[in-house]
Each structure stands twice: as C-alpha cells, then as structure tokens.
C-alpha cells in the first residue's frame, strides 16, 4: 500500500512471491520493501568489565532500562551510527566496538544490528536529557537479580535483541 508504483518509471507494480517484492511490468525492475537499519549497543565500563551502562528512555516511564539505540542515517556506516548515537544519548566515546548479531524488527520495517562496546572514559557519561532521561551503572549482581525478576528494575523483554545483548554479557560470552 505504501509503494504501489515503480519509483523508476511510475508504472503500477505487481506483487511477486506473495508480497516479498513488487515487479514493474514496464521496465522490469524488482522492488523490495524498504528496511531501515538501526543500531543497538550494550556499553561496558572503560575500567571495569563487570559494569554496564543502561539508559532510561523518556517514553518508558520509570524503572525500565535498556541498551542505547537509534537509526543509522543515509550515507552513514554502522560504525559511524554507533559512535554518533552513543555520543548523542550517553555523551561518551567508544572503543572495542564488536558486532554481536541482528534481529529483524518489521514493526514497521527495521533491522536491528546489535553491538557491544567499551566506553573510552567513564567520566564523560551524561544522558542527553531529552530521549534518554537517565543513565545508570549496573554490576553483575544487579543484572542477575533483574534478569530473574527479583529487582524493581525492568530489563527489555525476552524476545528482544537488547535482552540478548545483556544476557550474553551476563553469561560471560566473549
């Protein structure tokens, strides 16, 4: 419904493969649904690998914390998107940025790319005050309790890549 016409020649396109793509009968081009890449990052302390930094989003209300995330912009590499988003939301620069896996998030049309990174300097941490209203350090004990539901802190849902990034770190996956 969002894209019924061929962006190259303006002809009405036809559905192919039950909607996985659209085909233009005039110029022959095949068009795939738009997918917006987004990055999500688990941050650990510059000096203490047993501490991670999570953020509380203004839209979530109190008590919920998660990894930092945002959309990659046009013309931006994923590495640049990670650096920019984290600088904007948490005020810090990064080192040891590692890709950890992805999750399709078709609501509406994004692909989440998960990373883990180490903060360059913990003293630079500050929330942006708009999207991220609070940042907070957690140690392994606190995360363990929250994962088991024994703490008032709420972590991301079990089906999310944010949860997987936190569980990976908690479980000590390298």
10: left (phi over 0), alpha (psi -120 to 50) or beta: left
CA–CA distances in Å: residue 173 to residues 51, 57, 95, 133, 166: 15, 27, 18, 29, 10
Pick out residues in 74-133 that bind Zn ion (CB under 5 A).
Answer: none
Instruction: Show the beta-strand stretches assigned E in 106-166.
Output: 110-119, 132-139
Alpha-carbon span 140 to 138, nearest angstrom? 7
Query: Binding of Zn ion at residue 22 (CB under 5 A)?
Result: no
Q: How far apart are CA 143 and CA 150, in angstroms?
A: 10
By CB under 5 A, tell whether 15 contacts Zn ion: no
- Residue 27 in contact with Zn ion, rule: CB under 5 A: yes
Min dist CB 33 to Zn ion, Å, is 16
- How many other C-beta atoms can be found within 10 angstroms of the C-beta atom of residue 83? 19
Task: Give whichever of 8 and 120 is closer to Zn ion, judged by the CB atom.
Answer: 8
Q: In the bound complex, what is the minimum distance in angstroms from residue 74's beta carbon to Zn ion?
A: 23
Name the residue nearer to Zn ion (CB basis): 3 or 27.
Answer: 27
At its nearest, how many Å lie between Zn ion and the CB of residue 64? 46
Closer by beta carbon to Zn ion, 26 or else 126 = 26
The CB-of-56 to Zn ion minimum distance in angstroms stands at 47
Least distance from C-beta 29 to Zn ion, angstroms?
5
Identified binder of Zn ion from the candidate list 6, 39, 83, 86, rule CB under 5 A: 6
What minimum distance in Å lies between the beta carbon of 17 and Zn ion?
A: 18
| H or E element that contains 81 | helix 78-90
DSSP 64: B
Nearer to Zn ion, 21 or 103 (CB): 21
Q: How many residues bind Zn ion (CB under 5 A)?
A: 7
Residue 9 interacting with Zn ion (CB under 5 A): yes
Q: How far, CA to CA in Å, does 61 sit from each of 56, 72, 118, 132? A: 8, 25, 27, 11
Residue ranges in contact with Zn ion by CB under 5 A: 6, 8-9, 11, 24, 26-27
């Amino acid at each position: 419904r969002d894209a019924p016409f061929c962006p190259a020649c303006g002809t009405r396109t036809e559905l192919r493969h039950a909607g996985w793509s659209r085909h233009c009968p005039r110029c022959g081009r095949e068009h795939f649904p738009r997918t917006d890449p987004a990055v999500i990052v688990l941050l650990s302390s510059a000096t203490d690998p047993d501490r991670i930094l999570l953020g509380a989003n203004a839209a979530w209300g109190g008590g919920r914390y998660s990894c930092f995330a945002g959309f990659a912009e046009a013309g931006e590499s994923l590495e640049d998107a990670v650096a920019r988003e984290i600088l904007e939301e948490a005020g810090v620069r990064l080192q040891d940025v590692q890709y950890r896996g992805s999750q399709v998030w078709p609501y509406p049309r994004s692909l989440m790319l998960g990373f883990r990174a180490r903060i360059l300097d913990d003293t630079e941490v500050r929330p942006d005050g708009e999207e991220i209203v609070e940042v907070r350090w957690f140690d392994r004990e606190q995360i363990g309790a929250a994962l088991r539901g024994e703490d008032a802190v709420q972590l991301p849902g079990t089906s999310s890549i944010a949860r997987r990034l936190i569980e990976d770190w908690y479980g000590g996956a390298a």
